């Protein structure tokens, strides 16, 4: 059973857009610290700090060490999937910032966006959000397609205070 200290450490670990991006990067393919640093344009020491935080909280796991191009020992890391079931305190700002960082540089044609305004009572709003969550859960449980392309989905739900 997780202690309050464990839960707080996990919450802090997930409070960084950089760490969330590392988890996404390592979700379907194990990556070394060097690969992570290069992909995210980070200093290797900075990347290592984030990797160690994710390792210590169980969000990343080390695969078997391998020999790199120059004979050096490399350790690839893979996301454990624990983050899907972990809650981030005050998640919206960090998730939106992570999303914005991830789409930076993409062409508009590379992003599918939908926006919907509806007027629902509490029961119907809960039903809608539950059904959407069920779809997300179903796909999160699936094994990755061997011939698949990595993709991300972000859904933001908010009350529209200006429409009343």
pLDDT tens for each residue of 78-117 = 999 999 988 887 889 999 999 999 999 999 999 999 999 9
Query: Is residue 14 in some structural domain?
Result: yes
Q: Are 25 and 36 in contact (CB under 8 A)?
A: yes
The C-alpha atoms of residue 60 and residue 23 are separated, in whole angstroms, by 7
CATH number of the domain encompassing residue 59: 1.10.10.10
Query: Is residue 12 in some structural domain?
Result: yes
The C-alpha atoms of residue 86 and residue 35 are separated, in whole angstroms, by 26
Average pLDDT, the chain: 92
List the domain range (segments joined by +) for residue 95: 4-105
Position 159 scores a pLDDT of 87
Query: Is residue 61 in some structural domain?
Result: yes
Q: Are 29 and 81 in contact (CB under 8 A)?
A: no
Cα radius of gyration (the chain)? 18
**Is pLDDT above 80 for 38?**
yes
Query: Is residue 122 in some structural domain?
Result: no
Give the global pTM: 0.87
Q: Count up the domains in the chain and report the number.
A: 1
Query: Is residue 15 in some structural domain?
Result: yes
pLDDT tens for each residue of 131-157 = 999 999 999 999 999 999 989 999 988
Position 161 scores a pLDDT of 84
Query: Is residue 60 in some structural domain?
Result: yes
Query: Is residue 42 in some structural domain?
Result: yes
Query: Is residue 147 in some structural domain?
Result: no
Closest CA to 29 of 161, 148, 163: 148
């Amino acid at each position: 059973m997780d202690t309050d200290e464990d839960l707080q450490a996990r919450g802090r670990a997930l409070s960084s857009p950089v760490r969330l991006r590392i988890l996404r990067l390592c979700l379907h393919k194990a990556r070394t610290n060097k690969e992570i640093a290069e992909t995210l344009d980070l200093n290797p020491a900075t990347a290592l700090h984030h990797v160690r935080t994710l390792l210590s909280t169980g969000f990343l796991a080390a695969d078997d060490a391998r020999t790199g191009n120059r004979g050096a020992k490399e350790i690839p890391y893979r996301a454990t999937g624990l983050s899907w079931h972990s809650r981030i305190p005050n998640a919206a700002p960090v998730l939106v910032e992570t999303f914005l960082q991830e789409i930076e540089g993409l062409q508009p044609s590379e992003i599918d966006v939908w926006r919907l305004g509806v007027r629902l009572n509490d029961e119907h709003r809960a039903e809608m959000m539950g059904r959407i969550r069920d779809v997300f859960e179903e796909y999160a449980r699936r094994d990755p397609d061997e011939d698949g392309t990595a993709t991300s989905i972000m859904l933001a739900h908010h009350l529209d205070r200006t429409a009343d």
